[in-house]
Chain A
C-alpha cells in the first residue's frame, strides 16, 4: 500500500547520506593522503638523492684525490719528464712498469692508467697497446691540463661489451719548475659507484640501511650527459636499458633543474622520483620509486577506507533500520490503534514507551480516545433520550401509518376486486366473444334500452349489415323482423322478453329484412341477460336462417302429401266402384257377390284409413304439422265424434255413458287434433269391447288440467304387452284376431299429439275386464307451433 515506507525512506536517505559523507571524506582523505605520501616519498627520495649525491661527490673527490696523488707522485713526475726530455722508450717502459706495479694496485677499481704528454700523445699506459695514441682531442686531455677533471666515458675495458667508466685526469707538473709535463688519466671502474649508489657500500662499511633501502622498486641511478646509465642501484638494469630519456634527465640537461615528482621512467612505468643534477659533468642522479609502490600506503588506506565504508554502511543501515523500526513501530501501533478505535472500540489505549515524541503522540492519542469515549457516552445518553422521544413519536406515526395502510389496503382490495372483476369480466367477455364467434347461428345482444351491444359475424352474414352498422343502434332500426304473412314488423318479442322477464321464442314465419332488401326466413329465440342481482340488463337473441330448413320441410311434407295422394287415388277408385256395385248400379248382385264385394270394400276402406294414418304419423314424426289453438268446447267435439261412431255403437249394442263435468272450461286447443284424440280413443273403446259392453266418456277439470277419461269393458290389454301399446302398428295379441281392422297407429298418433301439445296420456287395463285411458290437457291449452300442415 505504501510505496516507500518511512523505514525505506529513512534507511535510504541515511544510507545515501552516509555514503556521500564517507565517500567525500574518504576521497578527500585519500587525495590528501596521496599527496602527502607523494610528498613524503619525494622528500625521502630527495634526501636520498641528496645523500647519494654527496656520496657520489665524495667518491668523485676520492677519485680526484687518488689521481692527484698519482699526479704528484715524484717517480711519475720525473719519469714523465724524462720521457718528454729524452723520449726514450726505456723511460716509458719503466714508467709503465711503475704504473702497473705500483700505482694500479693501489686502487683496485683502477683498471687503466694512461699518461699523456703535453701534446696529448700517450706516452705511458698500463695497457701497452694504448701507447702512442693520440688523445689530444679528448676532454680529459683538454680539461686535465688545467686541473683535475672527472668525466664519464664509454668504452670497452675488461668486459667484452662496452661500458661506462670514469676517467679522472690530472695535470702532471715538473717538480721544480711546475711546468706542465703532461696529463695522467686514471680509468676507474664504476663498480664502487654502483655499490655506493645501491647502498651496498655503506652496508659493507657497517652502516644501517635506510628504510628506503627496503623498498623493492627503489631505483637510484646516475645518468651521464649522453643519457646513458653510469651507475645503477641494480646491477642487472645497467645492461638492459639504453638511453634514459626521462623527464628529470631532460630537465637536468636542459636547465639544471632538479625536480621531484611523479613521472614516467625509462620503462614506461609511473614512478615517484627526485633528481640531483651534476651540471659540470652533465650527470643526473635519479632516485625513483615505482609510483605503485610509493602509493601503496594510499592504496592500502583506500582499501581500508572502502571496507570501512562498507562496514559503516552496513552498520548505518542496520542502525537506521532499527531506529526506523523503533520509530515506525510505534507509529504503526498508532495506526492500528486508530483503526481499532475507528471501528468502534473506544476502550483501546495504545502503549508506546519510546520516551520520545512518538510516545507523546501516543499519549495524546490515548487522551483523544478517552475524550472520544466520554463524548460517546454523552452522546449515547443524549441519543437514548432522543431515542425515547423518537420512539414515542414513531409510535404515533406508526399508528397513523397503520391507519393509512389499512385504508390503503381497503382501497387496494376494492381496486383489486374491481380489477379482478374487470379481469373476470374481460375473460368472460373474451370467452363469450370466442363462443359467440364460433356459434353457427346469428347472435346479437341488446341492452335494456334495446341498443345493440354486440353481434357475431353470422348476424352480419345473415343480415347483410356489418358490425359497425349494427352496434350501438337501436335494434329495430336495423334488424327488422317481419311476419311472413302480414309483412308487419315483429318488434314485440324482445320487448316482451324484457318486460316479462321470460325467454321468448319468436313466432313462426318470421322474415328478416336484409340490408339489400331481400327477406330471409329465420327461427329465433330471445333470452334475457340478467346481472347478479337479477335485474334485466339486456337480451340475447339467437336466430338462424331457416330457408334451407324450410325448403327441406316443404319438400318433405309435399312428398308425403303427394305420396298419400298417389296412394289414395287408386284406393278411392276401388272404393267408388265397389260402392256402385254394391248399390246395384251395375246390376243386381247375388248374396255371394255381395259378400265378396263387401270384403273388397272393407279391405279398401282399411287401406284408406291406413294411408291417412300414415300421413299423420309422418307429419307427426317430422314435426311439421301445425297446431293452431283456438278456444274449443271439448264437449262439443266429443259429441261430434260420438255422432260419427254411432253406427258402430248401435250395431254392437254398446252402451254409451257420458260424464261431462260442468266446470270444464273452453280451452285453447287445435280443433282437429283434439278431434283426433277423441276419435282414436273412442273408436278403440268401441272396437275392443264386445257386444253389449259399456263405454264411458268423462271430462272433468282438475288442478293439473282437463282430464278426459275413456273407459271400456272390453278385452283389455295383456300385462306383458302394456309397454308396447303406444308403439307403431302394435296390435295386442288378444285383439288381433277378433278385429282385423284397425291400423295399429291410433294410440301412437294420440300419444304423439299429446307429447307435442303439452298433454299426457296413461292407462289402466286388465285383460278381459276393460281398459281406462286418462288424457290430461293443460289448462293453458295447446302450444301453438309453426307447422305447415294440419294432421288430417
Chain B
C-alpha cells in the first residue's frame, strides 16, 4: 500500500506531485508499463505519452509491483518474461491487494503460450496481446477501449 515509499530524490517527490496535479487537472489516465526490454519500454512510453497518457515505467516485476501499489495506476501493461519477478507472479501479488484486485490489466507479451494465457486470464487480465501480432496503434486503441477513453 502506501507504506513503502522510496523517495529516491526530491525530484521524484516533486514529479509525483506534478503528475498527480496534472492528472487531477486534466483527468489523464495513468498507465504503468512493466517491460524489461528497454527499447520496447521506450517505444511504448513515447507512444502512450504522445497519446496523452501518464506513463509509469518499471523494468521488472518487482519494480512494477512496488510502483503499482504505491502509485495506483489506472491500467497495467504487463510483460511476462522478466527478470526478478515475472508478470504472472506480479499480477498475482497485485490481485492480492485490496486495490490491486480490481485494477485493469493488459498482458503484453511475446510469449504465445496457452498455459500462460490461461493463467493470466485467470488472474483477471482483460487481454492477452502478443506484441509481434499487434500494431502499436492497435495496442493504444485497446488500452483506450479498456479505460473507456475516447480516441483522440
Contacts and interface: CB of A to CB of B under 8 A. Distances in A.
Contact of A572 (B40, B81, B114): B40
A145 interface: no
Interface in B8-54: 37, 39-40, 43-44, 46-47, 50
B132 A615 contact: no
Interface string A567-593: 011011101110110010100000000
Interface stretch (A318-326, A490-498, A784-792): A784-792
A572 B130 CA distance: 9
Query: Per DSSP, are chain B's interface residues mostly helix, strand or loop, or mixed?
Result: helix
Contact of B47 (A561, A569, A580): A580
Interface residues of A, number: 25
Given A573-B40, A585-B46, A789 B110 contact: no
B40 A569 contact: yes
Interface stretch (B56-64, B93-101, B119-127, B133-141): B133-141
B132 A585 contact: no
A576 B40 contact: yes
Interface in A612-628: 612, 615, 626
Contacts of A572: 40, 110, 131-132
A60 interface: no
A18 interface: no
Nearest to B40: A573
A571 B37 CA distance: 12
A565 interface: yes
Contacts of A611: 132
Contact of B114 (A565, A573, A580, A789): A789
A611 B130 CA distance: 12
Contacts of A565: 81, 109-112
A788 B116 CA distance: 11
Contact of B113 (A571, A576, A789): A789
A583 B137 CA distance: 9
A788 B115 contact: yes
A564 B43 contact: no
Contact of A608 (B43, B109, B132): B132
A576 B43 contact: yes
Contact of B43 (A569, A580, A626): A580
A571 B137 CA distance: 16
B110 A576 contact: no
Contacts of B113: 561, 789
B93 to A, nearest CB: 22
A568 B131 contact: yes
Contacts of A580: 43, 46-47, 136
A788 B110 CA distance: 18
Interface in A78-129: none
A573 B43 contact: yes
Nearest to B135: A579
A256 to B, nearest CB: 182
Given A572-B40, A573-B39, A585 B112 contact: no
Nearest to B47: A580
Most buried by B among A568, A569, A571, A573: A569
B81 to A, nearest CB: 6
Contact of B136 (A576, A626, A788, A789): A576
B37 A569 contact: yes
A561 B112 contact: yes
A562 B44 CA distance: 22
Contacts of B135: 575-576, 579
A580 B140 CA distance: 12
B110 A568 contact: yes
A585 B110 contact: no
A303 B15 CA distance: 187
A612 B112 CA distance: 9
B114 A790 contact: yes
Contacts of B132: 568, 571-572, 575, 608, 611-612
B47 A564 contact: no
A566 to B, nearest CB: 8
Contact of A573 (B37, B47, B112): B37
A427 B88 CA distance: 60
Most buried by A among B109, B113, B130: B113
Contact of A579 (B50, B115, B133, B136): B136
Question: What 5 pairs between A and B have smallest CB-CB spacing?
Answer: A568-B110, A572-B131, A792-B112, A572-B132, A576-B136
28 contacts: A561-B112, A562-B81, A565-B81, A565-B109, A565-B111, A565-B112, A568-B110, A568-B130, A568-B131, A573-B39, A573-B43, A575-B132, A575-B135, A576-B47, A577-B43, A579-B135, A579-B136, A579-B137, A580-B43, A580-B46, A580-B47, A585-B46, A585-B50, A611-B132, A615-B112, A788-B115, A789-B113, A792-B112
Given A565-B112, A572-B40, 13 more contacts: A561-B112, A568-B130, A569-B37, A569-B40, A572-B110, A572-B132, A573-B43, A576-B47, A580-B136, A789-B113, A789-B115, A790-B114, A792-B130
Interface of B: 37, 39-40, 43-44, 46-47, 50, 81, 109-115, 130-133, 135-137
